[in-house]
Amino acid sequence: MNVQVMGEDISAEELTEDAGWKTAGTRRSRTRHRAQDFPHDIDARTDMLGSGRQGTKPKNVKGKVIKAGRMPRLPKGDIKIVVRPQGGLDIVKVGAPAVTAAIFAAASMTGGESAEDTVCPNLHQNIVVVSTPKRANADRYARMRQIYIQGKLHEVNVYETAPDNTTKGVVRGIPIEDGPRALDENIVNPRNPLALAAKRIGNTSTVVIAFDGLKVPKLVRYGATLIPCTLYRKQIDICYQCGRLGHRMDVCPNPANRICRGCGLRNPNQEHQCSPKCDLCGGAHMTADKDCKARYKTPYVIRRRRWEHQSANNQLTQQDLPPTEMTKPRSKSRSRSRSRSRSRTRRSRAPTRSRSTTPAPVDKVSWADKVRGTAREGVGKAPTVPEQNQATNTGIVEELRKENAVMRDLLQKLMQEVRELRRERAAP
């Protein structure tokens, strides 16, 4: 089932310059009594795949980009700090250990202080994620503004990610003159019990809210006003400097090596014109253009909901039916099929042998006699074959009726969720 979810496509660097989602993690630590039902993995990150149209089908590019940039699972519960190096720093060429050493030096971290920290570079997205269980270390990483590598200073954009087991929503129409304190007072309060932090997107009236758990409420109270809230959606990273998928312009490792986002031509001149074709959807527009619907990633909550539906369907299909006489001698039929494939003579003899080994019924009764009630049942005789088949069929019918009722309930739930998603999509 394909589901489309309304949301806003924003990036971390579009948020106002502050400590990232530090306030969300701080408020989350004060409410640890709330149960965490499901682990939340690091979001899948994208790849540095180029365009070029080198025989790649458009329908496979998006999956390859996401899969190639997927990061390993970092320790759950740690604070995650994202370091985005600028100035054309290429982590692949410099080497991940050199970047790690530069980060520790910029944060003034000793070997003992960083012993429990984990530095994981994302070579495809050209960023670095630092995972630490200590708040003091996270604050020192977040204060970095530049790193020194191979005799050159590179400015870095550092921010803290939202804590695990959280979901982001987007609200619009918030007055621009309301500052961070006003956002917290109007959103992060007991009237919105799941809200952990709120961040404005640049100088716009759109605000991103981090919610505790894996559900975004449909409505959020901004003071006394009810405002619709939609699910935040990430998008495939595209570099407007070099034209390649997988990273953003601020961390482009090769700004001088450009390709055309429309046709894949390397280093086009200013007079270049072409018939554009999107690498993600195959449409007649630039790759990852604002009109491209394929540039959005499927949110984690939607993927999780699909997994739950799939597992429920698998459980229903894997339910064992009551055993019947036809399923008992399965091993014998398999052995007979193997013997039949060996020679033609054995195939011709196998049916006669199988009939001879099957015990003949004591009293054969036709279905017509059974319906007319003329079947004779001797005292002490075993039930006839038709009677056994009828009892077995009755049990199978009852099982099928139960399974049909379960499937009917599941279908009603799915239809209800589809209607809710359609209402969310139709909301202004």
Write out the DSSP string of 235-252.
B--B-TTT--BSS-GGG-
Final residue of a domain: which of 136, 162, 188? 162
Asked if residue 297 and residue 221 are part of one domain, the reply reads: yes
Higher pLDDT among residues 368 and 254, named by residue: 254
Asked if residue 314 and residue 214 are part of one domain, the reply reads: yes
Final residue of a domain: which of 318, 341, 371? 318
Does 88 reside within a domain?
yes
Over 60: is that where the pLDDT of 318 sits?
Answer: yes
Does 382 reside within a domain?
no
State the pLDDT at residue 399.
85
HEC letters along the chain = CCCCCCCCECCHHHECCCCCCHHHHHHHHCCCCCCCCCCCCCCCCCCCCCCCCCCCCHHHHHHHHHHHCCCCCCCCCCEEEEEEECCCCCHHHHCHHHHHHHHHHHCCCCCCCCCCCEEEEECCCCEEEEEECCHHHHHHHHCCCEEEECCEEEEEEEEECCCCCEEEEEECCCCCCCCHHHHHHHHCCCCCCCEEEEEEECCCCCEEEEEECCCCCCEEEECCEEEECEECECECCECCCCCCECCCHHHCCCCCCCECCCCCCECCCCCCCCCCCCCCCCCCCCCCCCCCHHHECCCHHHHHHHHHHHHHHHHHHCCCCCCCCCCCCHHHHHHHHHHHCCCHHHHHHHHHHHHHHCCCCCCCCCHHHHHHCCCCCCCCCCCCHHHHHHHHHHHHHHHHHHHHHHHHHHHHHHHHHHHHHHHHHHCC
Quote the mean pLDDT of the chain: 77
Q: Which of 201, 174, 169 is nearest to 186 (CA)?
A: 174
State the pLDDT at residue 423.
81
State the pLDDT at residue 323.
54
Q: The CATH number of the domain where 100 resides is what?
A: 3.30.70
Asked if residue 418 and residue 275 are part of one domain, the reply reads: no
Asked if residue 85 and residue 66 are part of one domain, the reply reads: no
State the pLDDT at residue 412.
87
Does 366 reside within a domain?
no
Q: Lowest mean pLDDT: which of 7-16, 107-116, 240-249, 281-290?
A: 7-16
Does 62 reside within a domain?
yes
Does 379 reside within a domain?
no
Domain count, the chain: 3
Asked if residue 206 and residue 98 are part of one domain, the reply reads: no
At 233, the pLDDT band (50, 70, 90 cuts) reads confident
At 229, the pLDDT band (50, 70, 90 cuts) reads very high
Is 263 in contact with 275 (CB distance < 8 Å)? Answer: yes
Asked if residue 92 and residue 61 are part of one domain, the reply reads: no
Asked if residue 232 and residue 84 are part of one domain, the reply reads: no
Give CA–CA dist 141/146, Å, rounded: 11
State the pLDDT at residue 354.
43
Higher pLDDT among residues 424 and 210, named by residue: 210
Q: Which of 152, 117, 155 is nearest to 137 (CA)?
A: 117
Dihedral of CA atoms 419, 4, 69, 59 in degrees, nearest 10, equals 130
Asked if residue 136 and residue 171 are part of one domain, the reply reads: no
Percent of the chain exceeding pLDDT 90 equals 38
Asked if residue 296 and residue 218 are part of one domain, the reply reads: yes
Instruction: Convert the pLDDT of each residue in 101-141 to its tens digit.
Output: 999 999 999 999 999 999 999 999 999 999 999 999 999 99
Other CB atoms within 10 Å distance of the CB of residue 280: 22
Asked if residue 106 and residue 60 are part of one domain, the reply reads: no
At 378, the pLDDT band (50, 70, 90 cuts) reads very low
Residue 170's domain spans which residues? 8-14+33-70+164-318
Segment 418-427 shows an average pLDDT of 81
Does 369 reside within a domain?
no
Over 60: is that where the pLDDT of 351 sits?
Answer: no
Asked if residue 250 and residue 299 are part of one domain, the reply reads: yes
Final residue of a domain: which of 143, 162, 181? 162
Instruction: Convert the pLDDT of each residue in 190-208 to its tens digit.
Output: 999 999 999 998 889 999 9
Asked if residue 252 and residue 121 are part of one domain, the reply reads: no
Residues 6+ away with beta carbon under 8 Å from 320: none
Does 330 reside within a domain?
no
Give CA–CA dist 114/123, Å, rounded: 22
State the pLDDT at residue 335.
47
Does 261 reside within a domain?
yes
State the pLDDT at residue 52.
45
